[in-house]
Amino acid sequence: MKALEGRVAVVTGGSRGIGAAIVKRLAEEGATVLFTYVSSEAAALALAREAGGAVVPLKADSGNVEDVRRVIATAIDEHGRLDILVNSAGVVELVSIDEATLEAFDSIYGVNVRGTFVAMNAAAKVMGEGGRIINIGSISSDVMPFPGASIYGSSKAAVAAMARCAARDLGPRGITVNTVQVGPVDTDMNREDSEWAAGVLRTMAIPRYGRPEEVADMVAWLAGPTSAFVTGSTLRIDGGSAA
């Protein structure tokens, strides 16, 4: 029997990059996976076909409260339960604090913090014992080797703090809440052949970019039964960037 057989998962921002790798990994472990996408419908449908019948794409904007709540409700209405929530949706905009606008702040926090809160809030109302909430964070909340990340980094710090505090709230119900702090990973948003990659590699103990599948492996472990005593934790997967 696979580790997540019979479990139902929601992954926000699951159509590409790290999110897509997480969707595939959870499905491989036997979970039924609902994942959200905003605009990349073709990629979402392709992922669903690749992963098989237990994977369902849902168009939803993590910056829209009703969209997020609808996705959680869909899991309950169509599958009768929700066991795993992975908050992978996120936006990045690098801008110096003296040039940043309130609109940029609201946009980043609206998805990265508010959207994560709404999903956690809705999921916590319907999850039972053994539930897993996993937030995809960033080492930018702890260390940033180049300028322009004051809004983004602080939004990810808020996500990690929210997870630690929520772990206290939900622990008595047997629900764990953790954050995976991701370092440089080769995705469309942060390619290993980008113009700044050489500078990033100099900050790392293991001088290579990570693979989305490596992050997905850690998420799958946190979603499974052998991590039941791990909660309120912030786990780094960053090649030693923050060492």
pLDDT digits (tens, 9 = 90+) for 197-209: 666 777 878 888 8
| CA dihedral sign of residues 145, 151, 152, 158 | positive
> Catalytic: which of 37, 109, 152, 209?
152
pLDDT digits (tens, 9 = 90+) for 70-98: 999 999 999 999 999 999 999 988 899 99
pTM of the model: 0.94
Cβ within 8 Å of residue 82, ≥6 positions away:
8, 9, 10, 72, 75, 76, 123, 126, 127, 131
* Chain position carrying tokens 């014992």: 129
8-237: which CATH topology?
Rossmann fold (3.40.50)
152 annotated active-site:
yes
SS3 state of residue 203: coil
pLDDT digits (tens, 9 = 90+) for 119-176: 999 999 999 999 999 999 999 888 877 788 899 999 999 999 999 999 999 999 999 9
HSE-CB for 216 with a 13 A CA cutoff: 19
